[in-house]
Amino acid sequence: MAMDSILRVDMSDLSVRKEPLPAKWAKYAGRALTDAVVFDEVPPNADPLGPDNKLVVAPGLFGGTTAPNGGRISFGAKSPLTGGIKESNAGGQMSHALARAGIAALIVQGAPAVKGALYVLKLDESGNGSLMRADELAGLGNYDTAAALLAKAGDEKIVTITNGPAGEKLLKASGIAVSDVKGLPNRFAGRGGLGAVMGSKGLKAVVAPLGRGGLEHADKDAFNVAVKKFATALKAHPVSGQGLPTYGTNVLVNVINEAGGFPTRNFSDGRFDLVEGISGETMHEIGEARGADMGHGCHTGCVIRCSRYYNDVDGNYVTKGPEYESAWSLGANCGIGDMDAVAQLDRACSDLGLDTMEMGCALAVYMEAGKLEFGDSDGALAALKSIGSGTGDGPLLGSGTEAVGRAFGVSRIPVVKHQALAAYDPRPIQGIGVTYATSTQGADHTAGYSITANVLGVGGTVDPLKSEGQAALSQGLQIATAMLDSFGLCIFVAFPVLDIPEAFQAIYEMASAHTGVPWDTDMLMKLGRETLTMERLYNEGAGFTAADDRLPQFFLDEKLPPHDAVFTVSDAELDSVHDFVAATAADMGISVPKLA
Amino acid sequence: MRIELALYASLQGYLPEGPPGSSGKRSRIVELPDTITVGELAARLKLPDQPRISFMDGRAVTDHVALHDGTRLAIFPPVAGG
Ligand code: SF4
């Protein structure tokens, strides 16, 4: 089996067609492929919730293989939140399931003729699919939906993609859930409102058999050698070998708080007085005391294993993680310093299908507007639930941070390209500010994770409080990340890859042995540049200009304690981040896509 | 001199005796000789010989930096998230 077909699902006539992967897309997978499909087939001025938008789901190049940490999956579309192109990256088992069925991309297009009708797409092991009417799942949370699908599957090992009530309601803060190794719908393509795109298609879920290995390699022996080399490097690096497996991502809470860059109470402070309550160390101690499953992979083949579950006092599963970003957004950013409360908020977001980061920022802005007190976790939970019930301010909150801020006249609205910022204040950590400002995705820390050299001492050192070197750092990371996302590699491999030369070599050795095409460093970087170039041109077609590559003004004006820092990277430096786009576009022979 | 020392994640077990600092059980107020660097303190505490992430009053510092009275020093093992 090879990943060589497209499964095109047209909701307008309910057809599901398997097509050969066109030659023009054959060199792409993951993020590069979702981008190429959106670039080629979705006019940049399309209504994101209309029939012309397409939801594209693509495993990375290493999907279905034993490449360590190679089972991440890309969800792409025109984003209803940002209005630009979106690639939202998730863990879980679906990358393997699609790849093993030979599917390079699932393209969901059109819109159902019957308004309000819901469907489940069921795939088989050979990559064929059919749509089944599933109105009975309407309004169900992700957990109940996945449980119903699992029960229906009986003994068959299945993987699910599910859309929660927020996506069904077409809310811009909605994300899409993917089931993990235990079948729990807790891995998310959270950002950019893609749940709303899925909802607009009337698609409630996708069910696929997990399948078995057996993806062909051009050179199996060489592939296995490279896999071993890569796994050895991932285990040897202290971050991927020890830090992440032991404490998970939330270990960053104390690090970023200590650095004075931990956004607190809607980005009004860089340190959180109640930090101990939500730190990774505290979460680890709670997890040990309650017998939580800590340190597993989100998909088969992950050797870093940063994922963990959070249990209640009785030892029952509440939610996954919470990850650092969620502990921050629903915790410090809302002034909430209690891990159990954060876990309940995280669970509510997961079940409703809401991006925890967008929601944490939306709630914090709501608090700043005086609609809730900072620290009121009961009020925050009730507010989230009102999104599910569609009552009170629920529909507004589910529309995201900017919508809430505008509705109540809040001046401090932390968004770029309409998407909420992440858990690093860009004033004392300026490199991440460059990424927030310039990313094609809207404010997105993963797009170019400058925290590496700014704070963690990985891949060199760049003073986080100064503007020097930040644009170049972010540019390099954005290019490398676009490549990793296209290969389906978890971005946490970046820590060893930045420090251990063999880890980087192993990536192109695995790619060469898998595809038979001789990959090298230049080709990896070319793939990253091409991916970003498609995204930039698409966004240009959608109306974005240099003015959209800027942070909100308050980051330039308001000093953030404790460092009293403001963001000082110049507009010219920000504009230099995409200086490769024109030349790459010329090489690729592409230009801004045509409007409809 | 007297500083506040905080040790996190896998380094917590190396925290010396002393009155707690502002980070509860993760930090202590410790008495030190007047001239000592971050690296020398790490050696005194017998921290594992691996890279560290150290902050003095919120700014990243290397092992060569000298501590001074009243400072807060926080040391992390190599960790990351995202
Ligand atoms: S390191 Fe974490 S996020 Fe990355 S693949 Fe493994 S479990 Fe998933």
**B34-73: per-residue pLDDT in tens?**
999 999 999 999 999 888 999 999 999 999 999 999 999 9
Across the interface, which of B6, B9, B80 has its CB nearest the CB of A458? B80
- Does A259 sit within 8 Å of B60, measured CB to CB? yes
Least confident of A130-139, A581-590, B20-29: B20-29
Average pLDDT over residues A447-463: 93
Q: Can you give the pTM of this predicted structure?
A: 0.97
CA angle A204, A207, A209 (to 5 degrees): 175
A26 in any annotated domain: yes
Q: Which residues of A touch B76 (CB under 8 A)?
A: 254-255, 258
Ligand 1, pocket-test mutation among A179, A304, A493, most atoms within 8 A of CB: A304
Q: Which residues of A touch B6 (CB under 8 A)?
A: 258
Q: What is the CATH number of the domain that holds B20?
A: 3.10.20.30
Give the model confidence (pLDDT) of A153-177 as tens digits.
999 999 999 999 999 999 999 999 9
Cis previous bond, A322, omega within 30:
yes
Task: Write the residue with the smallest CA distance to atom 2 of ligand 1.
Answer: A306
Nearest of A26, A31, A10 to residue A532 by alpha carbon: A31
A155 in any annotated domain: yes
- Structural domain span for residue A141: 5-209
A49 in any annotated domain: yes
Which residues pair with residue B29 across a beta bridge? B4
Which residues contact ligand 1 via a Cβ below 6 A?
A: A 69, 91, 297-298, 302, 304-307, 490, 492
Domain boundary among A166, A192, A209: A209
Q: B interface toward A at CB cutoff 8 Å?
A: 6, 8-10, 12, 23-24, 26, 50-51, 53, 55, 58-60, 74, 76-82
Average pLDDT over residues A320-339: 97
Do A163 and A203 contact (CB within 8 A), yes or no?
yes
Q: Which residues of A touch B9 (CB under 8 A)?
A: 243, 246-247, 251, 254, 280-281
Q: A interface toward B at CB cutoff 8 Å?
A: 237-239, 242-244, 246-252, 254-255, 258-260, 276, 280-281, 306, 323-325, 428, 445-446, 449, 451-452, 455-458, 461, 464-465, 491-492, 495, 562-563
Give the model confidence (pLDDT) of A205-215 as tens digits.
999 999 887 68
Give the model confidence (pLDDT) of A392-412 as tens digits.
999 999 999 999 999 999 999
Band of pLDDT at residue A113, cut at 50, 70 and 90: very high
Average pLDDT over residues A569-596: 97
Whole-angstrom Cα distance, residue A507 to residue A498? Answer: 12
Average pLDDT over residues A258-282: 97
- Structural domain span for residue B28: 2-76
Domain boundary among A364, A391, A424: A424
Band of pLDDT at residue A62, cut at 50, 70 and 90: very high
A308 in any annotated domain: yes
Cβ contacts of residue A410 below 8 Å, gap of 6+? A365, A368, A369, A404
A558 in any annotated domain: no
Q: What is the CATH number of the domain that holds A28?
A: 3.60.9.10
Q: Within this chain, do residues A202 and A281 fall inside the same structural domain, yes or no? A: no
Ligand 1, pocket-test mutation among A298, A324, A445, A495, most atoms within 8 A of CB: A298
Q: Look at residue A293 and tell me whether its pLDDT is greater than 90.
A: yes
Whole-angstrom Cα distance, residue A350 to residue A358? Answer: 12
Percent of chain A clearing pLDDT 70 (strictly above): 100
Number of domains in chain A: 2
What is the distance between the terminal CA atoms of chain B, rounded to a whole angstrom?
Answer: 37
B82 in any annotated domain: no
Q: Within this chain, do residues A316 and A197 fall inside the same structural domain, yes or no? A: no
- The overall average pLDDT reported for chain A is 97
Q: Within this chain, do residues A148 and A60 fall inside the same structural domain, yes or no? A: yes
Ligand 1 atom with the shortest distance to the CA of A297: 7
What pLDDT, on the 0 to 100 scale, is given for residue A464?
97
What pLDDT, on the 0 to 100 scale, is given for residue B16?
94
Domain boundary among A402, A424, A446: A424
What pLDDT, on the 0 to 100 scale, is given for residue A427?
98
- Does B51 sit within 8 Å of A238, measured CB to CB? yes
Which residues pair with residue B53 across a beta bridge? B76
A281: nearest CA in chain B?
A: B9
What pLDDT, on the 0 to 100 scale, is given for residue A502?
95
Average pLDDT over residues A465-492: 97
What pLDDT, on the 0 to 100 scale, is given for residue B79?
87
Pairing of strands A5-10, A15-20: antiparallel
B17 in any annotated domain: yes
Q: Look at residue A379 and tell me whether its pLDDT is greater than 80.
A: yes
What pLDDT, on the 0 to 100 scale, is given for residue A459?
87
- Does A246 sit within 8 Å of B9, measured CB to CB? yes
DSSP class of residue A270 equals S
Q: What dihedral do alpha carbons A462, A467, A468, A469 form, nearest 10°?
A: 60
Average pLDDT over residues A513-517: 96
B8 in any annotated domain: yes
Rounded to the nearest angstrom, the minimum Cα separation between A371 and chain B is 30
What pLDDT, on the 0 to 100 scale, is given for residue A1?
79
A75 in any annotated domain: yes
Q: Look at residue B82 and tell me whether its pLDDT is greater than 90.
A: no
Q: Look at residue B80 and tell me whether its pLDDT is greater than 90.
A: no
Q: Which residues of A touch B55 (CB under 8 A)?
A: 258-259
Q: Within this chain, do residues A308 and A197 fall inside the same structural domain, yes or no? A: no
A374 in any annotated domain: yes
What pLDDT, on the 0 to 100 scale, is given for residue A318?
98
What one-letter code names the amino acid at B1? M
Task: Write the residue with the smallest CA distance to atom 4 of ligand 1.
Answer: A490
Rounded to the nearest angstrom, the minimum Cα separation between A388 and chain B is 28
Number of domains in chain B: 1
Place of tokens 């709501």: A366
B31 in any annotated domain: yes
Whole-angstrom Cα distance, residue B74 to residue B70? Answer: 13
Is the model more confident about A438 or about B51? A438
A272: nearest CA in chain B?
A: B23
B81 in any annotated domain: no
Q: Within this chain, do residues A321 and A195 fall inside the same structural domain, yes or no? A: no
Q: What is the CATH number of the domain that holds A336?
A: 1.10.569.10
Pairing of strands B2-7, A317-320: unpaired
- Does B82 sit within 8 Å of A249, measured CB to CB? yes
Ligand 1, pocket-test mutation among A180, A240, A307, most atoms within 8 A of CB: A307
Q: Which residues of B touch A455 (CB under 8 A)?
A: 53, 60
Radius of gyration of chain B (CA): 12
B7: nearest CA in chain A?
A: A254
- Does B60 sit within 8 Å of A281, measured CB to CB? no
